[in-house]
Amino acid sequence: MRMLLSTGTLACAGVMTSLVPDLAVADFFKDSEARLALRNYYFNDDYRDGGADRREWAQGFILKAQSGFTEGPVGFGMEALGLSGIRLDSSTNHAGTGLLPVHDDGRAASEYSSLGITGKLRWQDTLVSTGTLLPKIPVLVYNDGRLLPQTFQGTQVEYTGIDRLYAHAGHLDKLKARNSTDSVDIFAQGYTGGEGTDFDFVGLRYDLSKRFSMSSYYGELRDFYRQQFYGLTYTAPVGKGKLTSDLRYFISDDAGSARNGVVDADMFSGLFTYRQGGHSLGFGYQEVSGSTALPYVSVSTVYSFSNASIGKFIQPGERTWMLRYDFDFASVGVPGLAFMTRYYNGSGGEYRGLEAKEHETDTQLKYVVQDGLFKGIGAELRHAISRSTYASDRDNVRVYLIYGIALW
């Protein structure tokens, strides 16, 4: 680990220094910072219908370093993202969890790593970033559900010059899967062809007040699909607590040559969450209308309340009810300890001529040490039970051990 720390830190610092003029080095490093996140991950996916279980254990290292900006009307900055994964336990019979790359012979790689660099330019209220990006917007959310995060390559522009308005646009041309070091063209989930394409997006978020905001995004995976998103969130005091209403609506259809076939999917979802003290209780409903499932970029996450540990509940015609409960133990004197459980029930959908009915229960318990010698060390246990009429029944167990280190 010491070698990884020193090598990764020097590599990031070397790249950042080499790309900045000598006269600006002092300002460039003035506000810089770097953190190393250690993520130890055990994943056990038990296929209840007789399929081979997937079980692997791995150690991940995520090094994030960012500079300050140079002085002057136009400021320049850099970010570096170093990713490394090491196999601790795997076998040909149980590989394929998504933690590690898998070779042609069925064996998981012993290790894999990559380095992403992002250049930044700041002019007044405009920030331009180009290079490695981690998009987290309604029409595209990077996946961080395994050992290392999925990354994208491209350019984005962010503008905050108007009070309470956030404007965002970008062009992405490559993605790197969460268990891969190869940058490939972007394609839609489920696509089996050999040619990917680019992804463009533009969006706005406007805060009408501290409690009420609205957002709209448009994304297009060229020659695959286009997608519009509209969202409203409102928080109001109710009794001794607060009620948050979160409404989301997607409109999706095919674009260009429609390489992955016709796309016709609208999706409405709403989640209403009441919080009082350490308790949070949420109730939601989601419905997909149209002839196809909701499209999304391969491996990425769907911006939906139903993006569960295993299922997504986005088949055509599917109607899903959701119930969620959270408890923050800080309210009873145990800061850092949190519990969550949620239940999904989907019905009325269709999948390749089969009736799509499914339900899933997810439970999570997490604790992070808040102070003292072991501050930042955490553990998380996740358990999921998924049953479906069109996919494999699965019991899923995940164990995380995490630790964050501030390098400077």
In a domain, 146, yes or no: no
Domain count, the chain: 1
pLDDT of 64 reads 97
Percent over 90 (pLDDT), the chain: 87
Average pLDDT rounded to a whole number, residues 295-307 = 95
Mean pLDDT of the chain: 92
In a domain, 238, yes or no: no
162-189 confidence digits (pLDDT tens): 999 999 999 999 999 999 999 999 999 9
Confidence bin at 26 (pLDDT 50/70/90): low
In a domain, 46, yes or no: yes
pLDDT at 23 over 90: no
Quote the domain boundaries for residue 101: 1-107
- Residue 328 is which amino acid? D
Confidence bin at 29 (pLDDT 50/70/90): confident
Q: How far apart, in whole angstroms, are the C-alpha atoms of residue 92 and residue 339?
A: 34
Average pLDDT rounded to a whole number, residues 391-407 = 95
Report the run of H or E that residue 25 belongs to, with start and end: helix 25-30
119-157 confidence digits (pLDDT tens): 999 999 999 999 999 999 999 999 999 999 999 999 999
343-364 confidence digits (pLDDT tens): 999 999 999 988 999 999 999 9
In a domain, 35, yes or no: yes
In a domain, 101, yes or no: yes
In a domain, 269, yes or no: no
DSSP assignment of 287-323 equals EEEESSPPP-BTT-B-SSTT--SS----STT-EEEEE
pLDDT at 12 over 50: no
pLDDT of 300 reads 96
pTM: 0.90
C-beta atoms surrounding 10 within 10 Å: 10
In a domain, 341, yes or no: no
The length of the chain is: 408
| The two structure tokens encoding residue 33 | 């910072």
pLDDT at 49 over 90: no
| The two structure tokens encoding residue 142 | 């990077």
- Name beta bridge partners: 85: 60, 112
pLDDT at 195 over 90: no
**Phi, psi values for residue 158, rounded to 5°:** -125, 135
In a domain, 357, yes or no: no
Average pLDDT rounded to a whole number, residues 276-295 = 97
pLDDT of 30 reads 80
Helix (H, G, I), strand (E, B) or coil at 3: helix
362-384 confidence digits (pLDDT tens): 999 999 999 998 999 999 999 99
pLDDT of 6 reads 38
- Name beta bridge partners: 198: none
212-253 confidence digits (pLDDT tens): 999 999 999 999 999 999 999 999 999 999 999 999 999 999
Burial of 248 (0-12, 13-18, 19+ CB in 10 A): buried
pLDDT of 52 reads 80
pLDDT of 25 reads 55
